[in-house]
Amino acid sequence: MQLPGACLRACLPLALLALPAHPDSTRDSAQQLFKAGSKQFLEHEFAAARESFTRVVQLDARNAEAYRALGMTDLELKDYQAAYQAWLKAVDLDPRDEKSKYFLGRLFYEADLVNEAAAWLRQALALSPGDFEARTYLGLCAEALGYDDTALQLYRKAVFESEAQGKPYANAYLSLGNFLRKHDHEDEALAVLEKGSQRCPEAHELTSYGELLARRNQPQHAEEVLRQAIALDPKLPEAHYRLALLLKSTGREQESAREMALFQQVKAAEDREPKITALRK
C-alpha cells in the first residue's frame, strides 16, 4: 500500500526530533514530522516512519490522519494489533475517515472475521460509494458468507468503477475471475483475467490466469504468464507451484524440480511470517 500524497520533503535532522516542542511550535513540528514519516514510508523505511508518526500523535493527539498513517506503517511491519488500534483511534477522532474504515474491514477479512469485516466495509462504502477496493472486499465477504448473487454484483461493479475512474484494480478482476471459475463459467473467467492481466498486471491475478490457461491446454502462454507473475513477485508461492506443475506436465523434469524447490523455499518463509490471529480493542 502507498500513502497518498504528493512530493514529500526530506525528514528533519535527527537531533531536532529529540528536542521538546515549544507550545507555539508544536503544530509546525507535527506537520514536519508527518512529512518526514510520509517520505520514509514511500521509501519503505517503515521502522523510521513508525517513529515519526508516533511522535506526531504524541505532539498532536487528535491528528486522525497521523493515526491512519501509523496504522498503515504498522501493517507493513506486520504488527497487526498495533495497526488495528491506530485505525480504531483514527475513526474515533474522525468518523468520516473512510480509508481507515476500509483498512479495518480488510484487516478483519484477512483475520477471517468476515462479519466484522463486512460491517466496516459497508461503513466505508456509505462514505465513499466509488471505493472499488472496499467494494471488492465486501464482495469477498459476501462470497465467504454464502451470498453469491450479492458477491457477483459487487465484483462486477468494482471492476466497472475501477475502469470508469481510470484505475483498473487487479483484485477486482481476480475476485470476479475466481468467482466465475468456481461457478463453472470458465470462458468468461478467462476473458476477465485476460483483461485484468493487460490493464493492471499483478502477481496473484496473473497466477490465476496462468493456471486457467494451463487447464485450457495453452502451456506456452501459461508459462509466459506465470513467469511474469514470478517476475512481479518472486515471493509468491502459488506462482512457483503452478509453474512447477506446468513444467512437469510438458516433460521438463529438471526445470520443474528447481521451480518446486523455489516453491518450498518461499512457502516456508511465508509460513514463518506473523499471522493475524486476534484483534483486541
CATH of 96-200, one of 1.20.1730.10, 3.50.50.60, 3.40.50.1360, 1.25.40.10: 1.25.40.10
Does domain 1-94 match CATH 1.25.40.10? yes
Say yes or no to pLDDT of 9 above 50: no
Decide: 259 and 243 in contact? Cβ < 8 Å.
yes
Q: Is 62 helix (H, G, I), strand (E, B) or coil?
A: coil
Say yes or no to pLDDT of 218 above 60: yes
Which pTM was predicted? Answer: 0.87
Can you tell me the distance from the alpha carbon of 151 to that of 135, in angstroms, rounded to the nearest whole number? 9
201-272 falls under which CATH superfamily?
Tetratricopeptide repeat domain (1.25.40.10)
**Band (25; pLDDT cuts 50, 70, 90):** low
The whole-number average pLDDT for the span 225-230 is 98
Decide: 219 and 226 in contact? Cβ < 8 Å.
no
- In the chain, the percentage of residues whose pLDDT exceeds 90 is 86
User: Comparing 96-200 with 201-272, is the CATH topology the same?
Assistant: yes
* Residue partners of 260: CB distance under 8 A and separation at least 6: 240, 241, 244
Following DSSP, what letter does each residue of 42-62 receive, concatenated?
Answer: HTT-HHHHHHHHHHHHHH-TT
Domain ranges of the chain: 1-94, 96-200, 201-272
**What is the rounded average pLDDT for all residues in the chain?**
91
Say yes or no to pLDDT of 156 above 70: yes
- Here the cell at position 229 is 507473475
**Band (28; pLDDT cuts 50, 70, 90):** confident
* Phi, psi for 3 (deg, rounded to 5): -70, 125
The whole-number average pLDDT for the span 199-217 is 97
